[in-house]
Amino acid sequence: MDILEDLKWRGAINQQTDEQGLREYLQQHKDLTLYCGTDPTGDSLHIGHLIPFMILKRFQMAGYHPIILIGGATGAIGDPSGRKTERVLQSEEQVRHNEKCLTSQMEKLFGTENFEIVNNASWLSKLTLLDFLRDYGKLFQVNTMLNKDIVASRLATGISYTEFTYQIMQAIDFYYLNKNKNVTLQIGGGDQWGNITGGIDLIHRIEGADHPAFGLTIPLMLKSDGTKFGKSAGGAIWLDPEKTSPYEFYQFWINQDDRDVIKYLKYFTFLSHQEIEDLAISVEKEPWKRLAQRKLAEEVTKFVHGEAGLRDAQFITNALFEGNIMELSVKQIEQGFKNAPYVEISKESKNLVDLLVETGIEKSKRQAREDINNGAIYVNGSRQNDCDFLVDVPNSFEGKFVIIRRGKKKYTLLKTK
């Protein structure tokens, strides 16, 4: 099975400009170079951004040469794709900061061998206005540009000339990489189809209709309930561990619906067809074991955060599930309880009954005593049956936290002021 057939099996192909031509080119050119671009509009990618780069990674693993383009120039302009209004232009300082952060993330995902990162500012910034108009603007028909889905969707609300010319800039990128890096394939999301075909048209106008240049887009990723993939109740799931901790990242994947998990295993992991088909049988016959979800969480967390990040996420997960809170470090508690309810308390020891009522965990002292006597209250993972128990706040997790559990799963984090 060639890589295109594998991508089809994984549901990872939406559109291709010339499927047969690309297949034949791949068979004849084992050194094919391809690229995918991202604009530095933020200082981290989220898992929605990760989708096309998973395809790029598969090509890398198959022996082809991937290039990632970070749009230092196009990012300063703003892609109109998927937007109803103009983007707020970023400062040059912010763009440079974002470029640095994204470069670091990509190097972590792709390594250093058979891989390259380029920045389109290195060539687009050298174009004069006269060069842009004479060498490239003359090759684009306004009526064709207006018919592009991205532009057509904005005509009712308005689009600036700046964002209107974005498609020309991206087309120049493909032409430049084709000429200088021998790039013959561009990959992108479905909303990039117009930009990709614009680049291919430019290459053909300059180099000739038979010059090899191909485009491939990926499908829009939707959950089984029809909502867009990539968000949680707390917002986007980021690749930056400071924005989304490895534990939160792991939990996002392990909590996926049975109806979605096999689709995500095909797309976001490098497991073999047989391994995924075996997990599909498990979902069908023994869903309560959640083997597929666990494997999905393990594979994607390891890919993004490495073995250390996976171990940390699993350690926190197991400690919380088993109630072994005292095994956690302060940093691990911050990860595991980032989105948990919390109450601020003073940094002094307190009677357990008083503490439960003051923090709202219990409605009354009578109820607090009843739950303590019944063994329903845990302090830092240890069950407390003594209503006179004194909670040693100053020595609890470096004086920063006390963790109260009521019943089997209801945790409350107490933070010292």
**170 assigned binding-site residue:** yes
Phi, psi of 128, deg, nearest 5: -85, 165
Q: Report d(CA 240, CA 46) in Å as an integer.
A: 8
Look at the block and give the residue holding tokens 């196009």.
74
Angle at 333 between CA 327 and CA 337, to 5 degrees: 135
Are 147 and 164 spatial neighbours (Cβ–Cβ below 8 Å)? Answer: no
* Orientation of helix 291-322 relative to helix 246-254, angle to 10°: 130
Q: Report d(CA 261, CA 371) in Å as an integer.
A: 39
Q: Report d(CA 304, CA 215) in Å as an integer.
A: 26
**What H or E segment, with its residue span, contains residue 273?**
helix 273-285
Are 396 and 349 spatial neighbours (Cβ–Cβ below 8 Å)? Answer: no
Q: Report d(CA 62, CA 189) in Å as an integer.
A: 21
Q: Is 401 helix (H, G, I), strand (E, B) or coil?
A: strand
Cβ neighbours, 10 Å, residue 287: 13
Which residues, including other chains, have CB under 8 Å from residue 211's CB and lie 6 or more apart?
178, 203, 204
Cβ neighbours, 10 Å, residue 224: 12
**231 assigned binding-site residue:** yes
> 179: which DSSP letter?
H
Q: Known binding site: residues?
A: 35, 166, 170, 231
| Residues in the annotated binding site for ATP | 231
Please report, in range form, the residues annotated as the binding site for L-tyrosine.
35, 166, 170
